[in-house]
Amino acid sequence: MQTCAPLPHSARPTDFDFLKVIGKGNYGKVLLAKHKADGMFYAVKVLQKKSILQKKEQSHIMAERSVLLKNVRHPFLVGLRYSFQTPEKLYFVLDYVNGGELFFHLQRERRFLEPRARFYTAEVASAIGYLHSRNIIYRCASERGGVRPYVLMKDLKPENILLDCQGHVVLTDFGLCKEGVQPEETTSTFCGTPEYLAPEVLRKEPYDRAVDWWCLGAVLYEMLHGLPPFYSQDVSEMYENILHQPLQIPGGRTVAACDLLQGLLHKDKRQRLGSKTDFLEIKNHVFFSPINWDDLYHKRLTPPFNPNVAGPADLKHFDPEFTQEAVSKSIGCTPDTTASSLEASSAFLGFSYAPEDDTLLDC
């Protein structure tokens, strides 16, 4: 575990040595980078402004930045250390975690035993509860422009949940979060990965914070059973299952686990667990009775799985498809200013961020 001191009060690409590609997507790449001045490792997400503007996604990028700034103090949400821009690119300097995607480990083991699934679910629930306390809902969202595997949370599913070097959960994508949603308010944007869509989203009804608890239930179900609930290779059939088929829970699960899944995956959002007192309902469910939530938050509970990484340079949990790719020399330089790039810069006013204090943070 490295201790991350804040970077200087300004940053630019030439401040970093860009070492490896650890993720990529429609808008750019995520790279393992070492800061030249302090020797610390970071994940730097580099996005092409031109691609973002062509797809009219700048509002989502700015929302991502805004939410990241609010999440820096929560133990299970990735921290933004810096954001800056050149005329052609946007840079997010993020906490670097290299324990691998939860999906990677789940695929390898097919399913988790209840204690392990409970631990991960509790950490994710803690993070969601924190977001809700800041009037932010995740929303199950699509892979529009996502950067995998080191994504910024586009929806709550195992592919988008990372583990740090100790085995704790880190949620890393907030690009399509919805801010400013009061407890009784709703939103109505239709977006989602099919397997994890809540019924109210499919019906194109206004939805509220309860949509995140549905997603949590879907992730827990997949951890316990190896596939998402209501899954079908035929997307139309899967939608029909989500809307109308009763939840089928295979045998071998405890009564507490079955009750939690039934509560989280209730098709009526008004009856869903978490719809009334939000995170408090989740915390108080009997399934989580072995969890001391204060110890969980302060990472005093030993994770059920240790990724066994040797240090920041250990990339065994990243796909070689990414890590073997050559790092472009243009990533670490500042391009010449042109008329078109100046226009792109004006679309991202206020993007840059620098820390104001000298607090040391563990990462």
pLDDT, position 363: 36
pLDDT, position 9: 56
Confidence of residue 291 (pLDDT cuts 50, 70, 90): very high
Q: Is the peptide bond before 246 cis (omega within 30 degrees of 0)?
A: no
11-40 mean pLDDT: 89
Superfamily of domain 3-97+312-338: Phosphorylase Kinase; domain 1 (3.30.200.20)
So which residues are the catalytic ones? 155
pLDDT, position 81: 87
Give the C-alpha separation, 340 to 351, whole Å.
18
Q: Are 100 and 307 in contact (CB under 8 A)?
A: yes
Per-residue pLDDT tens for 121-130? Answer: 999 999 999 9
The answer to whether the pTM exceeds 0.85 is: no
pLDDT, position 264: 98
pLDDT, position 143: 38
> What average pLDDT is seen over the chain?
82
Per-residue pLDDT tens for 100-139? Answer: 989 889 989 999 999 999 999 999 999 999 988 888 876 5
Residues of the chain above pLDDT 70, percent: 79
Architecture of domain 102-297: Orthogonal Bundle (1.10)
Q: Indicate whether 336 pLDDT > 60.
A: no
239-260 mean pLDDT: 95
Per-residue pLDDT tens for 277-288? Answer: 999 999 999 999
Confidence of residue 334 (pLDDT cuts 50, 70, 90): low
Higher pLDDT, 8 or 208: 208
Q: Indicate whether 176 pLDDT > 50.
A: no
**Domain coordinates of the chain in residue numbers?**
3-97+312-338, 102-297
Q: Are 155 and 228 in contact (CB under 8 A)?
A: no
249-258 mean pLDDT: 94
3-state secondary structure the chain: CCEECCCCCCCCHHHEEEEEEEEEECCEEEEEEEECCCCCEEEEEEEEHHHHHHCCCHHHHHHHHHHHHHHCCCCCECCEEEEEECCCEEEEEECCCCCCEHHHHHHHHCCCCHHHHHHHHHHHHHHHHHHHHCCEECCCCCCCCCEECCCCCCCCCHHHEEECCCCCEEECCCCCCEECCCCCCCECCCCCCHHHCCHHHHCCCCECCHHHHHHHHHHHHHHHHCCCCCCCCCHHHHHHHHHHCCCCCCCCCCHHHHHHHHHHCCCCCCCCCCCCCCHHHHHCCHHHCCCCHHHHHCCCCCCCCCCCCCCCCCCCCCCHHHHCCCCCHHHHCCCCCCHHHHHHHHCCCCCCECCCCCCCEEC
Quick one: 281 exposed, middle or buried, by C-beta within 10 A (0-12, 13-18, 19+)?
Answer: middle
Do the annotations mark residue 267 as ligand-binding?
no
